[in-house]
Amino acid sequence: MTTTRAGLPTDATLSYAAGPVDFDSLAKAIRRSVGHDGMRPEDARSIAAHVLNFFGFNERIIDNVLEPDDRDTFYMLEDTGILETERDETTLYDGREWRIHYWMFRKERIFELAREEAAAMAAAGEKDIVYSSNSNRSGAFMLPHGERGTGLAAHAVYHELGDEIWLERRQNPAPAAPPAPSPRRRASAVDE
């Protein structure tokens, strides 16, 4: 399966099988769901980060973890087709019915909206900033707001190095250091 630079599947029929929903795809889908000009990119990224904090790497979460304000956001995303609900019913030992409500990503819809938003951004001349990626490259992860890594200036140099540097070190490891000299034994009065 081929993917775009941001890790979005290029084949719409395979998009649902593309692994977990990533930050970029969700942010673009959220922005597209209200219309390209209806939401600032920063707001879409903020909502995407908030939602992903609940889901993590899961595709389904239990409704009980949500506060009322969070649930309102989830209902808004359900209205746009980004999320859907499911419920399970089970019988308790005393005979009562217990309902458990879940929220799930609609991955095919998210990737469809993300592709549409990427095209709208390109048409509007907007820069497509990728904050996450499905690749394992060292430079594939940037934090929002231009921060890199820890955000400390002293650490930025490591993130500015290209992937070639890290791969070169892996392919051509540094020669082994010569063994350290053994400490000399001091002569004691008994040895003399």
Say how far apart CA 30 and CA 34 lie, in whole Å.
7
Q: What is the pLDDT of residue 4?
A: 59
Q: What is the distance in angstroms between the CA of the first residue and the CA of the last residue of the chain?
A: 77
Q: What is the pLDDT along the chain (192 residues), one digit of tens a residue?
A: 565 555 555 555 444 445 788 899 999 999 999 887 788 888 999 999 999 999 988 889 999 999 999 999 999 999 999 999 999 999 999 999 999 999 999 999 999 999 999 998 888 888 776 655 444 433 434 444 444 445 455 555 665 666 666 666 566 666 666 777 766 666 555 554
CA 76 to chain centre: 21
Say how far apart CA 128 and CA 118 lie, in whole Å.
7
Are 1 and 18 spatial neighbours (Cβ–Cβ below 8 Å)?
A: yes
Q: What is the pLDDT of residue 126?
A: 84
Are 130 and 142 spatial neighbours (Cβ–Cβ below 8 Å)?
A: yes
Q: What is the pLDDT of residue 71?
A: 95
- Minimal CA–CA distance to 99: which of 89, 85, 91? 89
Per-domain residue ranges of the chain? 12-127, 135-173
Are 109 and 26 spatial neighbours (Cβ–Cβ below 8 Å)?
A: no
